[in-house]
Structure formats: structure tokens, C-alpha cells
Amino acid sequence: MIIIPILIVAAGIFMGWNIGANDAANCVGADIGSRRMTVREGIIITCLFSFLGALIFGSKVIKTVGKGVVPLDKLDPQLAMLVALSACFGAGIWVLLATYKRIPVSTSHSIVGAVAGVGLAILAPIYWKKIGEIFLSWILTPFGSGLIAFVFYPIIRRIFFSLVPRRLESITTRWLLILSSIYLAFTWGANDVANVTGVMVGSGIFSVFWATVIGGLAIVFGVTTWGYKVIETVGFRITHLLPIMGFVAELASAVNVQVYTQFGIPVSTSHSMVGAVIGVGFARGIRAVNKMIIRDMVVAWSLTPFMSGVISFLIMKGILFFSG
């Protein structure tokens, strides 16, 4: 039936839109929070370079999401398409709720939890070992970027203020932030486009290239229409970011995400960026960090794979029930 592939594309676009809306903050929230970049400039940089990252390196993580959690390529084609449909809508609904509450959550956690939830609904084989490896990376991601940022910040700060004349500090930090945003947006696109396209490719609807194009455009649409909500949380509510802090946080986050992308592991750029922001905040002293906001985010992070899995499980059961 042609209606199922059409619905899957719609679900993928819905998921991509939510990813763009929630994750745009990862790339430019620190810049905007440090007052060296406008929201409009940040959105343009995020859209352009995340799309390039998706096209150039997105295939690595797409294979993991598409076939590494539930073997969609080994299921009946019609059933595989229903799995893709349920997972995209289930994950997208949870991310939509988080974005509405201005909380940066992991779209990677959401889609992996959703695929596993649908797998349970149809009693499909689930690669629990791979899920365990992904789960471990989720725990390590914020700690890794936070540690990198905590170590980098005093070193880079000392080098910066010893080499850059005071009259050039403002323009220099602005360009450093632009470069780190470009790098982070590129790595984000490479890792997170799989959250939109993985199930499309795994279910055989699109090739990697065309799925990446659709997913990349959907993410861009989400960034431009609703990305400002979570940008405010990352940029202003976790800690007060000085420009050099924003640069270090983005650099640490990008390095962290790139390492996982090279191994084809879907990780959370939200966790990575928030961990890095907390890391530079701790480098200034624990009082500089808004601990209530961190608490709320940790709760949302913990709930994300479970809630996405439950929603997708119920959607799949509903489809099977009404389709007879």
C-alpha cells in the first residue's frame, strides 16, 4: 500500500522537525547566551552546517539506528514499514513535549527507545547487547564532554588572555564562537540525522542519500521554526556564559560527539553540550551552575528512552489492532 510509505515519510519529517527544534540549542545556545551571536545568525549556521554534516558523515550512525537495534531489514517489508512509522511518531511525540517544556533531551535516546519499544510490541528480535553499548555511551557522553570542558577551560582561557590584546577580545571571541559552532553543527548533523533516517533506510523505503536529504531538510525546518525555545535554556538558564566559556563548551562537545560518530554510535548532542556547559560552569565554581535546571534535565533524560518506547509500543499495538 502506497499510503504506508507516505505516512512514514510524514513521520520522519515530524521527527526531524522536532530534532531541529530541540537540538538547535546544542550548536548555538552557548554563543547566544554569551551575547556574541544573534538567534538569527545561530540558526543560519546550524541549518547550513548540520545539513552538510548529515550528507557527508551521516551514513555511519544511520546503519546502527536502522539495523542495529531491531533488524528491520530482516522483517517482512510491510511489518518493517509499520515499525518505522510507529517509532518515528512515538519518538517525535516525546521530543515535542520536551521542547514545549524548553528541556533539551536526547533525540538519539528517543529514537532508540522507540525502536526497541516497537520491537517488543511485535516480539521481534532485539539486539540487547547493542542497546547496552549505546546505553553506556549515553552515560559517558555528558561526563566526557564535561571533563574535557573542565580541563580545557583554564588552559584556553590562560592562552587566550595572554595572546589576544584587550581591544581585540570581543571580535576574536566572536570568530572563535562562529568556528566552534560550525564544527559542532557539522558533528551534530552527522550523528543526529540517523534519528530521522535510520528507520527509513532500515525498512527499505529510501537509500541512505535520499533519506539523509529528507531528514536534513526536516531538521533545518525545525531549527528555523521552533529552535529558539530550547536555545534559551542552554544559553541562559544553566549558567552565565562568558564568550570564552561558550567557545570551550562547544569545542569540547563537538570533539566528544565526533569520536562517537566515527564508531557509528548514536549519542546525545544535548547531553554532550549540556555536560560541557556544566563543565565550564564548574571550572568557575559550583555556585555558577543552576542546579535546579540540571535536576530537571536529568529527570527528563532518564525518562526519554522509556517514554518514547512506551508511546511507540502503544502506537504499534493500536495499528495492529485496527488493521486486524
pLDDT tens, position by position, 116-148: 999 999 988 888 887 787 778 778 888 899 999
Specify the residue for cell string 544511520: 62
Domain membership flag for residue 69: yes
pLDDT band at 307 (very low <50, low <70, confident <90, very high): very high
pLDDT at residue 269, as a whole number: 78
pLDDT for residue 177 is more than 80: yes
- Report H helices in 193-242: 194-202, 208-226, 228-232
Q: Which three cell numbers stand for residue 7?
A: 505516512
- Whether residue 66 contacts residue 194, with contact meaning beta carbons closer than 8 Å, is answered with yes
Percent of the chain with pLDDT over 70: 86
pLDDT for residue 217 is more than 90: no
pLDDT at residue 286, as a whole number: 56
Domain membership flag for residue 321: no
**Cα separations in angstroms, 298 against 88, 99, 104, 123, 293:** 23, 15, 10, 30, 9
Domain membership flag for residue 319: no
Length in residues, the chain: 324
Instruction: Report the range of poorest mean pLDDT among 4-13, 57-66, 71-80, 179-188.
Output: 57-66
Domain membership flag for residue 317: no
Domain count, the chain: 1
Those residues with Cβ within 8 angstroms of residue 84's Cβ, 6 or more apart along the chain or in another chain: 8, 11, 12, 72, 199, 200, 202, 203, 205
pLDDT at residue 261, as a whole number: 83
> 39 burial class (0-12, 13-18, 19+ CB within 10 angstroms)?
middle
Residue predicted with more confidence, 176 or 271: 176
Containing structural domain, residue 286: 3-312
239: three-class secondary structure by DSSP = strand
Domain membership flag for residue 150: yes
198: three-class secondary structure by DSSP = helix
**Overall average pLDDT of the 60-84 stretch:** 74
pLDDT for residue 255 is more than 80: yes
pLDDT at residue 44, as a whole number: 85
What is the average pLDDT score of the chain?
81
CA–CA distance, 13 with 62 (Å, rounded to integer): 16
pLDDT at residue 43, as a whole number: 78
**Overall average pLDDT of the 81-110 stretch:** 85
pLDDT for residue 66 is more than 60: no
Residue predicted with more confidence, 35 or 146: 146
pLDDT for residue 62 is more than 70: no
- Whether residue 105 contacts residue 23, with contact meaning beta carbons closer than 8 Å, is answered with no
pLDDT at residue 231, as a whole number: 64
pLDDT digits (tens, 9 = 90+) for 147-163: 999 999 999 999 999 99
> 76 burial class (0-12, 13-18, 19+ CB within 10 angstroms)?
exposed
CA–CA distance, 53 with 193 (Å, rounded to integer): 9
Partners of residue 239 on adjacent β-strands: 289
CA–CA distance, 240 with 246 (Å, rounded to integer): 10
pLDDT band at 236 (very low <50, low <70, confident <90, very high): low
Partners of residue 289 on adjacent β-strands: 239
**Overall average pLDDT of the 225-230 stretch:** 70
pLDDT band at 209 (very low <50, low <70, confident <90, very high): confident
pLDDT band at 216 (very low <50, low <70, confident <90, very high): confident
pLDDT at residue 313, as a whole number: 96
Domain membership flag for residue 217: yes
> 160 burial class (0-12, 13-18, 19+ CB within 10 angstroms)?
middle
240: three-class secondary structure by DSSP = coil
What are the DSSP calls for 252-301, one per residue? HHHHHHHHHHHTT----HHHHHHHHHHHHHHHH-GGGB-HHHHHHHHHHH
Domain membership flag for residue 205: yes
Q: Which three cell numbers stand for residue 49?
A: 552546517
Domain membership flag for residue 322: no
